[in-house]
Amino acid sequence: MASDNVSVFREGLLAGQVGLVTGGGSGIGLGISELLAALGMHVVIASRKPEHFEAARERIAAAGGAVSSVALDVRDQARVREVVDGVTQQHGRLDLLVNNAAGNFYAPSATLSPNAWKAVVEIDLYGTFHCSQAVYPAMKAQGGGRIVSTSMTLHYRGWPQMAHATAAKAGVDALTRTLAVEWAPERIRVNAIAPGPIPTEGVRKAFTPPAESGIPDRFAVADQQMDAYAQQRIPLGRWGTPRDIANMVAYLASPAGDWITGSIFVIDGGEWLARQ
Ligand code: HXC
């Protein structure tokens, strides 16, 4: 049973903190933004699409959360710095960066265009670095902070037609470990989360592999078969939810995360270990 509506965290756990969530207006990012705000953090949603971040801001504000939003493409390093500087000037601090923004699609490596490669690597890997580098001065000045980046599990073995994304996420893993060690003296904890299959609307749209590819489609099964599919393919017997992922981010942002850095948390119901 999923536990979407149950918070295991105490009320006000993250009160007084300020967090920036890239891609925080939809899918997993929205789940993260909602939980952090529900726990008292002021959440700044940074995303490319106004239709995503405006709707998310209204929804979180209506639920009583402290939230603001800003337009950001994480590929634009100058804009990343401008946004981060704006947040720290307005709030006087920045406690948490969640590098959640990602862009992926299935495409054969043999014909992947240079621009297609670049688009995904720039969002997933360069974007993570740009944002992490941009928050460093503020986190250092305030005596510490937390960075949580979004990885995946598809690169643990290999996932055809996703060379761009798997390469980028392997880079995110490396970056996580390196920055964790390099920035530990500044008390900046750097960790990553690796979500398993979470059938959000955006993911289901983006990840229906071409029928002729022979790649197993983890999402595009008929809705009435979703439960049966999960029971068969995911050891813990159900699909993941944004809340499953958000819980780990909240944990890492809390004092429980004080001694955790350089870790990559797989949150997938055991899916990758059992993958055929
Ligand atoms: C082949 C493609 C393509 C596709 C885009 N391109 N989609 N090539 N197959 N399906 C190529 C384009 O032709 C172009 O190359 C280049 O990529 C850039 O495309 P643009 O559309 O101009 O880029 P942009 O508007 O910046 O869009 C970025 C994007 C897009 C990554 C391409 O898909 C995006 O914004 N996605 C965000 C949402 C998303 O993907 N979410 C999923 C995250 S979930 P040319 O050569 O023509 O110029 C997740 C979980 C993974 O990551 C789970 C896996 C199962």
Q: What is the mean pLDDT of residues 245-262?
A: 98
| Predicted confidence (pLDDT) at residue 5 exceeds the cutoff of 60 | no
Give the Cα separation of 175 and 26 in Å (integer). 25
Answer whether residue 227 shows pLDDT above 90: no
Question: 234 in ligand 1 pocket by Cβ < 6 Å?
Answer: no
Output the pLDDT for position 254. Answer: 98
Cβ–ligand 1 contact at 104 (below 6 Å): yes
Q: How far is the C-alpha of 227 from the C-alpha of 223, rounded, in Å?
A: 8
| Rounded Cα–Cα distance for residues 73 and 101 (Å) | 9
What per-residue confidence (pLDDT) applies to 54?
96
Q: In the structure encoding, which two tokens stand for residue 157, read together?
A: 């073995």
Residue whose Cα lies nearest atom 3 of ligand 1: it is 105
Pocket test residue of 104, 121, 217, 233 for ligand 1, highest count of atoms within 8 A of CB: 104
Average pLDDT, the chain: 93
Q: Which pLDDT does position 2 carry in this prediction?
A: 45
Domain boundaries, the chain: 18-198+241-270, 199-239
The pLDDT, as a whole number, for residue 224 is 62
pLDDT in the model for residue 212: 75
| Total Cβ atoms within 10 A of residue 150 | 24
pLDDT at 90: 98
Instruction: Give residue 223's pLDDT.
Output: 64
Give the pLDDT of residue 222: 60
pLDDT at 207: 60
| Atom nearest to 28 CA in ligand 1 | 44
* Mean local confidence (pLDDT), 191-212: 80
CA separation for the pair 108, 123 (Å, rounded) = 19
In this predicted structure, the answer to whether residue 119 has a pLDDT above a threshold of 70 is yes
pTM of the predicted protein model: 0.93
φ and ψ at residue 74, rounded to 5 degrees: -65, -10
pLDDT attached to residue 229: 80
Kindly give the distance from the C-alpha atom of residue 117 to the centroid of ligand 1, in angstroms, as a whole number.
Answer: 9
Does pLDDT of 132 surpass 70?
yes
| DSSP state at residue 61 | H
Residue type, 96: L
- The minimum-distance atom of ligand 1 relative to the CA of 105 is 10
State both tokens at 75: 């590929």
Largest CA distance in the chain: 53
* Distance of alpha carbon 183 from alpha carbon 39, whole angstroms: 26
Give Cβ neighbours of residue 80 (< 8 Å, ≥ 6 apart): 72, 74, 127, 130, 131, 134
| Res 87: pLDDT | 98
Angle at the Cα of 13 (from 266 to 32), degrees rounded to 5?
40
18-198+241-270 classified as CATH 1.10.260.40: no
Residue 1 confidence (pLDDT) above 50: no
**152-185 per-position pLDDT tens digit:** 999 999 999 999 999 999 999 999 999 999 999 9
How many Cα atoms within 13 Å fall on the side-chain side of residue 190? 27
Residue to mutate (ligand 1; options 105, 169, 201, 267; most atoms within 8 A of CB): 105
Cβ neighbour number for residue 125 with a 10 Å cutoff: 23
Percent of the chain predicted with pLDDT > 70: 92
Number of neighbours of residue 196 by Cβ within 10 angstroms = 22
